[in-house]
Amino acid sequence: MSSATPYISTSGTGDFGKEVAVAVAPEAKEDEEEEEAPDLTEDQVEAAFLDRQGRYRTASLFFERNRAETKESGYEAIFNLGERDKHGTLSLKQLYLKYEDPTEYHFALKVFGSWDHWQKLLTLKWFLPYVEEWRGELETKLESNAILNIINTATHGSEQMRYAANKTILTKPWKEKAAKKQTRGRPSKQEVEARIQEELDKHEDYTLDAERLGIGD
């Protein structure tokens, strides 16, 4: 007999944290299996992302980086860096691709409840290569969606729209993009390091701007 699935209350709080509510909810007791699953408040879900000093959790959020002593301190992993959910943790890659948000702003608010927390994660050199890979896959996914929409329009759109869509299809823009990617190949170690440094510089600029505006910690 399976227990009811916990979920976050969205009354007056939006749906921040709904993705991770199950991961951070306390396990249901055996004698409560038939009862309705408890709501989690926004504060309860948000607390899972902070340490006891109120700082954003980073490495301890991830199954692959959460050390034994950290777990013993009560900081359970919520996410993993793999392709699928596993060991009671959610694949952050799948969440990233699910939201289809190249700006990453909507994704950050929905998953972490905070743009600042996402910016903090992007300062971690071990984390950035994963994000770069996800960004590349998301770009391909969005391009694929766009092409599928064009194909659909070519079949079901108005006469004018069908003409424009078919004209686009005949140019086969996806082949040009695929050829460029194959020619480009995988980025070199130096290029990856340069991109990581660029992200770190962007975060530093963001932090300085926040401090000047008086909106930093």
Task: Please write down the long-range contacts of 68-76, taking CB distance under 8 Å and 24 or more positions apart.
Answer: 75/51, 76/24
pLDDT of residue 149: 76
Specify the pLDDT at position 152. 76
The answer to whether the CB of 108 falls within 8 A of the CB of 92 is no
109-122 pLDDT per residue, tens? 999 988 999 999 99
pLDDT tens profile 72-101: 677 889 999 999 999 999 999 999 999 999
Given this model, what pLDDT does residue 128 score? Answer: 95
Low-confidence ranges of the chain (pLDDT < 50): 1-14, 28-38, 215-217
Distance CA 59, CA 70 (A): 10
Question: What pLDDT score does 42 carry?
Answer: 63
pLDDT reported for residue 28: 44
Please report the pLDDT score of residue 120 as a whole number: 96
The pLDDT score that the predictor gives to residue 10 is: 34
Cα–Cα nearest to 48, from 83, 10, 89: 89
